[in-house]
Amino acid sequence: MSIYLPIAEISVNAFIILGMGAAVGFLSGMFGVGGGFLITPLLIFYNIPPAVAVATGANQVVASSFSGAMSHFRRGTLDIKLGLTLLAGGLVGASVGIYLFTLLRRLGQLDLIISLFYVTFLSIIGALMLVESVNSIRRAAANRPVTLRKPGQHNWVHRLPFKMRFKRSKLYLSAIPVVVLGFGIGVLTSIMGVGGGFIMVPAMIYLLRIPTNVVIGTSLFQIIFVTAFTTVIQATANQSVDIFLAGMLMIAGVIGAQYGVRVGQKLRGEQLRALLALLVLAVGVRLALDLVLTPDEFYSVVTTKEGF
Amino acid sequence: MKLSRAFLIAFMSTCLMMIMAQQGRAQEEQLDIGISTNEIAITSDFAGADLTVFGALDNADRFLLQIGQYDIIVALEGPAKRTVVRRKERFFGIWINRHSMTFEPAPASYSISSTIPIDRIAKQIDLSGRTIGIEHIHLTPSGRVGDGTLVPEFKEALLRLRVDDGLYQSEPVGVEFVSSSLFRATLRLPASIPVGRHKLRAFLFKNNEFVMERELPLRVVKTGIEQFIFELAHQHAFLYGVLAVVLAMLTGWTASVMFRRD
């Protein structure tokens, strides 16, 4: 069944889009990630214009992070003050990102930068996750306890000024690294169309030493607002949010996620992380190949504005 | 007296009719075209369409018509749009867009159909002067083009990509006579046809010489929900963005309520 996307201005097969949404939803439920970093490249592979894929990806993440954050909110595993501090940086970062996005689109380098960002982040995060999970699997096999957070151990981050007290997280931490992290994720949200959870969660755990139980809820909390903000600004500045496409992805995504969660509960954490790492690396490699291999077509055409 | 007057009137009217008939014979061939609609609607399942154009050729010389000396070309020109063509080059191992060229507004789509291949209908110079045919679409680079050596390459690439996408297409034997004076032309409209004001142009050639041209407007519009969304996204962009977010939150909230586990 082919369906015409009013903003992307192409006809697509609705079942492929729904399938994509369901598959990514399944994976995001299984691994507890937003799925933006999978949706956007998949849409680009399916010939959706990258600008539309990124903006629509951000919109789709609003839905998946919202349903996730709701349950964390009910359970109270969410640090609002920490979330708002992250958000302050995130909104500024998203604004800067949109400005860059519009500029790059005009220069014709947007697709390249999107690909480069994806290749860079997916390879780094994928490799780090793979190493970490393989180590955990080894440790588990040797029957040694698995610890993520070593209490009492401080790093340079904890010597920075402007300290704030985050009661829910039981932390006394400088606002600088929190705002900077939020800012960085905000830039990534607007350029890559991701929520940024796959970067924010490890950064919060390993760098800021935030207790694991509030990390997911808090990151989801700030992701909702940054992606919502990005969606509105992308729609206003670039008219690149396709509500049809986003709607199909969301509905299929939230349903797929429910089944993913069930499967995810049966698998062990470190095995799950190793699988996710391999998936992340595979997407990164695929995008890298597109950049490196000699393309079939050297030319591309963009129709800009109405002449007369 | 009465009889002579009646005779005179009859004589005069006969003369008048003869003069009119004489003028009619000297009158040039007339071309007319018609389409069943002046608006084509793109619906959600639009996968391209065929546009049938009917036309009449009046006052044609029967003999010339029989030996096929009349040729008709029908073309649908899309809205003129500014176009940027970019070329990838290898740079530190990766392929990036390095050269680009902007072309002045030119039809974003073009579909042509004719009785016989157009290069057998008229001379290149005539076709070019009247912008008939894909290779005669006026593509003029704007801004800095350096020494201009890249222009033919970029122009050729633009035409090739548009032909590959089906945006530019030609049907060399798509016009046929259904009777001595009626003809039918079929134009293929691609799925990705740009919305906006299109121009349907028809040309009549006799003995490889241009006789006349007709033009009709044709609007291609999105309909229903597609049009509503497109207009909302472009004219009330902020509201549209907010709507997209609300929709997402609603979907997320519904899901969290429906599949509540705690």
Cα separation of A68 and A28, whole Å? 11
Q: Residue A249 — very low, low, confident or very high, per pLDDT cuts 50/70/90?
A: very high
pLDDT, tens digit, 9 for 90 and up, residues A182-213: 999 999 888 888 888 878 887 888 788 888 77
Which residues does chain B have within 8 Å of residue A302's beta carbon, measured at their own beta carbons?
83-86
> What pLDDT does residue B7 have?
65
Nearest-neighbour CA in chain B from A156: distance (Å): 36
Q: Touching check for B192 and chain A: CB below 8 Å? A: yes
Phi, psi of A19 (to 5 degrees): -60, -45
User: Which of A9, A62, A108 is the closest to B249 by Cβ?
Assistant: A62
Given an 8 Å threshold on Cβ–Cβ distance, is A305 in contact with B260? no
Given an 8 Å threshold on Cβ–Cβ distance, is A70 in contact with B256? yes
Which residues does chain A have within 8 Å of residue B95's beta carbon, measured at their own beta carbons?
291-295
Query: Which single residue is written with the structure tokens 């009247």?
Result: B130
Tokens of A1: 């069944």
Residue A226: partners with Cβ closer than 8 Å, 6 or more residues away: A87, A90, A91, A93, A94, A182, A185, A186, A189, A195, A196
Q: Is the ipTM of this complex over 0.90?
A: no
Count other Cβ atoms within 10 Å, centred on residue A112: 19
Given an 8 Å threshold on Cβ–Cβ distance, is B249 in contact with A63? yes
Residue of B nearest to A258 (CA): B259
Among B116, B73, B111, B109, smallest CA distance to B202 is for B73
Q: Touching check for B64 and chain A: CB below 8 Å? A: no
Three-state SS annotation for B88-99: EEEECCEEEEEE
Residue of A nearest to B192 (CA): A10
In the predicted model, what is the mean pLDDT of chain A? 83
Which residues does chain A have within 8 Å of residue B154's beta carbon, measured at their own beta carbons?
299
> What pLDDT does residue A228 have?
93
Cα separation of A93 and B184, whole Å? 59
Nearest-neighbour CA in chain B from A153: distance (Å): 34
Which of A234-238, A253-257, B9-13, B190-194 has the weakest average pLDDT?
B9-13
Q: Residue A215 — very low, low, confident or very high, per pLDDT cuts 50/70/90?
A: confident
Tokens of A29: 């439920």
Tokens of A211: 């207790």
Given an 8 Å threshold on Cβ–Cβ distance, is A235 in contact with B158? no
Q: Touching check for B199 and chain A: CB below 8 Å? A: no
Tokens of A263: 């499967």
> Which B residues in the span 68-127 are in contact with A, Cβ-Cβ below 8 Å?
79-90, 93-97, 100, 104-106, 108
**Are the CB atoms for B32 and B211 separated by under 8 Å?**
no
> Which B residues in the span 22-51 are in contact with A, Cβ-Cβ below 8 Å?
42-47
Q: Residue A308 — very low, low, confident or very high, per pLDDT cuts 50/70/90?
A: very low
Number of cross-chain residue pairs from A and B with Cβ atoms under 8 Å apart: 204
Cα separation of A154 and A159, whole Å? 9
**A170 pLDDT more than 60:** yes
Domains identified in chain B and CATH numbers:
30-238 (2.60.40.2550)
Q: Helices H, strands E: what count in chain B? A: 6, 13
Count other Cβ atoms within 10 Å, centred on residue A272: 18
Nearest-neighbour CA in chain A from B55: distance (Å): 28
Given an 8 Å threshold on Cβ–Cβ distance, is B252 in contact with A233? no
Residue of A nearest to B262 (CA): A71
Among A97, A73, A94, smallest CA distance to A83 is for A73
Given an 8 Å threshold on Cβ–Cβ distance, is A307 in contact with B43? no
Which of A20-34, A156-170, A172-186 has the weakest average pLDDT?
A156-170
- Cα atoms in the 13 Å half-sphere on the side-chain side of A104: 20
Cα separation of B57 and A18, whole Å? 52
Show the DSSP H helices in B49-102 as ranges: 62-66
> What pLDDT does residue B242 have?
94
Instruction: Work out the angle at residue A155's Cα, subtended by the Cα atoms of residues A153 and A161, and round it to the nearest 5 degrees.
Output: 120
**Total count of residues recorded for chain B:** 262
Given an 8 Å threshold on Cβ–Cβ distance, is A295 in contact with B241? no
> Residue-wise pLDDT tens for chain B (262 aa)?
455 666 666 666 665 665 555 554 556 788 889 888 888 888 777 778 888 999 998 888 888 888 888 899 999 999 988 888 888 888 888 888 888 888 888 898 999 999 988 888 888 888 888 889 898 888 888 877 777 788 888 889 999 999 998 899 988 888 988 888 899 999 988 888 888 899 999 999 988 889 899 999 999 888 878 888 888 888 899 999 999 999 999 998 888 888 765 5
Given an 8 Å threshold on Cβ–Cβ distance, is B262 in contact with A75? yes
> What pLDDT does residue A307 have?
40
Which residues does chain B have within 8 Å of residue A296's beta carbon, measured at their own beta carbons?
none
Nearest-neighbour CA in chain B from A134: distance (Å): 31
Which residues does chain B have within 8 Å of residue A74's beta carbon, measured at their own beta carbons?
262
**B246 three-class SS:** helix
B253, with CB counted inside 10 A (0-12, 13-18, 19+), is middle
